[in-house]
Structure 1
Amino acid sequence: MGPPCPRCGRQAPAGGGPFCPFCGRYLAALRWVAEPPPGVNPPRPVTVRSRYTGPPRYRFLPRWGFPLGPWRSPEPEQPPPDPLLGARTLVGSLVPLLWATAAVALLASGAEVWRYALLLASREGALQAEAVAASDALVASAGTVAPILSLVVGVLMILWTVRAARAAADRAGVRPSRSTRTIVLGWVVPGLNLSIPGSVLAEIEHSAIGLPPGMRPRPSRMVLVWWGLWAAGVVLTAVVLLWSLRDGVQARADGVVLHAVLDLVAAVTAGVTARLVLRLTRLLAPTAPRRREVLLAVNPPAGAPAAPA
């Protein structure tokens, strides 16, 4: 007898073939089992259970982890500082110092004129010791205060120029024509300070007025006057420095005159600079006109009886 049929369960006769004679099912029972060849299976890892020894400990303070303190939300990015606000802030200190510099320079010029008058008077006779001492003290005091004020005013003027140039470029919607480094070097480097400061102020005025960016700036009369005074002051400063290297009585007398002229030019330049800085700042940030309401008359409502006379 053959194997029983897995479908109908009947016993097939021997030699009847691989199919069931009753239902036609294939009688060979096949079962596929996939097994790897011997020696290929890797050994299973043996898990070793260690004894609990407590929380982890470190010999040094670990550098990882959260910072001490409560949770804080990340701070938003700070907007860049407004250059116009910075320029207007500097004006409150720059303009009074410019007028103070003008006053001290004018006093120094008067002291040099007095010294020159004493030099002329000494040709005919002896001078009073009190007058000479007072003249020397006045010249020394003004000659000490004026350079200090000029240095402070110079630093503030450079900062104001940098911020005003950026504010003017923002107002016109363009990039600044000169970098901060170029503006600073243009103020302090001899030779460059004859052209760059005036050009920067002319560009600030051009953008503050609202003229087209592609149009070439044409300086106003005030800017041209300031430019001429500034160039004259720079040239006179170089002349005075070179003249001080000469020896002799006449050279010293001429040096007194040159110092008096230089101080006078510095006083006028400081005053014009104060007015120019105020004008350009007001052009960049015009203030709204203040209106004052005045009650002129009170009209009675329509239909109301008129007040008795």
Structure 2
Amino acid sequence: MHPPVSETLAAQAGPPCPRCARRAPVGGGPFCPYCGRYLAALRWVAEPPPGTPGSEPATARLHVRYTGPPRYRVLPRWGFPLGAWKDPARSEAPAPPGPLQTARSLIGTLVPLLWATSAVALLAAGAEVWRYVLLLASRDGALSAGAVAASDALVASAGTVAPVLTAVSGALLVLWTVRAAQAAADRADVRPARSRRAIVAGWLVPGLNLSVPGSVFAEIEHSALGLPPGLRPRPSRLLLAWWVLWAGGVVLSVVVLLWSLRTGVQARADGVVLHAVLDLLAAVTAAVTARVVLLLTRLLAPSAPRRREVLVRVGPSTTAPAAPA
């Protein structure tokens, strides 16, 4: 007498699945073919190492009822520290920023200050022009007290803010020039043509500041463009325009300073015109300086080009359509 078919199939099948309670056929693999559960009858039990004080036998711990996660009356002091783990043996102090990084970080403050200096200098030029118009109008009659007070206040405020902004932006410009010259020399793998003291003296010493700043900018541009070191630097048109504006501003500043020593009504009226021209020239020079600084910095550290794919047209399909059955 043969056993029932169900008992024969159960004998040939594997252990029942703990999830769906179905029996997988023998040789079907370690996973349930119906629900995908792992069929191996494994039971993981965490036990302390042997010999640990307070350890209990595994049989005694298995019968302990689970009462939930651990609770603490106070905030526990243990745990992992914040941040990624670092090996204390291999931890090193961060390297100081290089001259190129310093030059790039300075333009974030220098360029806005130059544009602010240009705006304030332009306002000061307008205030001087207004004062000169009032001087012309005073020849035919008395002036309004309010107009004279407003003109004096505008000239005084612009004349105070403009020199302060010029001094701050000038100090940052000298520092940027020193760092940019070092970065350009490192880029061209040559030694800087001038030392730091020579560059600073070229900006500050009268007479030298007519030629040294333009020469330094031309050297930075020459090295940033990757031209041969033995070739004589030839500044670009923008740099030549800045050089002319800078030299003209220095010379005009000396003229205005000497003109202020003169006395007399006509000398004061001419001094107002000279101050207006000097303020206007300072505004243009500051704006061009901002452009030159940005240009040289971008030449030293060119940004990666941004590419994006654009669909131009859709060509014909290369695969022939299947013939209808």
Specify the code of the residue in structure 2 equivalent to 1:126. Answer: A
Cα deviation 1:79-121 (Å, max 9, x = unaligned)? 4521111111111111111111111101100110110010011
Match of 2:262 in 1: 246
Quick check: 1:145 aligned with 2:161?
Answer: yes
Specify the code of the residue in structure 2 equivalent to 1:120. Answer: L
Match of 2:215 in 1: 199
SS for the counterpart of 1:269 is helix
**What is the CA distance between 1:304 and its match in structure 2?**
6.7
SS for the counterpart of 2:305 is coil
**What is the CA distance between 1:240 and its match in structure 2?**
1.1
Quick check: 1:277 aligned with 2:293?
Answer: yes
CA distance in 1, matches of 2:223, 2:120: 34
Specify the code of the residue in structure 2 equivalent to 1:140. Answer: A
Q: What is the aligned-residue identity percentage?
A: 74
**What is the CA distance between 1:166 and its match in structure 2?**
0.7
Aligned residue pairs total 236
**What is the CA distance between 1:78 and its match in structure 2?**
5.2
Quick check: 1:154 aligned with 2:140?
Answer: no
Equivalent runs, 1:40-59 vs 2, <5 Å = none
Match of 1:4 in 2: none
Please identify the structure whose Cα radius of gyration is greater. Answer: 1
Quick check: 1:176 aligned with 2:192?
Answer: yes
Q: Give unpaired runs (5+ residues) of structure 2.
A: 1-87
Match of 1:128 in 2: 144
Match of 2:278 in 1: 262
TM-score (ref. length: structure 1):
0.72
CA distance in 2, matches of 1:183, 1:77: 31
Specify the code of the residue in structure 2 equivalent to 1:85. Answer: Q
Match of 1:42 in 2: none
SS for the counterpart of 2:206 is coil
**What is the CA distance between 1:297 and its match in structure 2?**
4.6
**Structure 1 counterpart of 2:226, from 210, 220, 223:** 210
Match of 1:107 in 2: 123
**Structure 2 counterpart of 1:85, from 88, 95, 101:** 101
**What is the CA distance between 1:147 and its match in structure 2?**
0.5
Cα deviation 1:154-177 (Å, max 9, x = unaligned)? 011011101110110011000111
Match of 2:114 in 1: 98
Match of 1:57 in 2: none
Specify the code of the residue in structure 1 equivalent to 2:284. Answer: V
Cα deviation 1:176-201 (Å, max 9, x = unaligned)? 11111111111111111111101000
Runs of 4+ displaced beyond 3 Å: 72-80, 294-306
Shift of the 86–127 alpha-carbon distance from structure 1 to 2, 3 Å rule, reads same
Cα deviation 1:194-232 (Å, max 9, x = unaligned)? 111010000000011111001111111111111111011
Shift of the 305–212 alpha-carbon distance from structure 1 to 2, 3 Å rule, reads same
Match of 1:188 in 2: 204
CA distance in 2, matches of 1:230, 1:136: 28
Shift of the 173–304 alpha-carbon distance from structure 1 to 2, 3 Å rule, reads farther
Specify the code of the residue in structure 1 equivalent to 2:134. Answer: L
Match of 1:38 in 2: none
CA distance in 2, matches of 1:78, 1:140: 48
Moved more, 137-146 or 75-84: 75-84
TM-score (ref. length: structure 2):
0.68
CA distance in 2, matches of 1:146, 1:299: 66
Cα deviation 1:25-46 (Å, max 9, x = unaligned)? xxxxxxxxxxxxxxxxxxxxxx
Q: Give unpaired runs (5+ residues) of structure 1.
A: 1-71
Match of 1:36 in 2: none
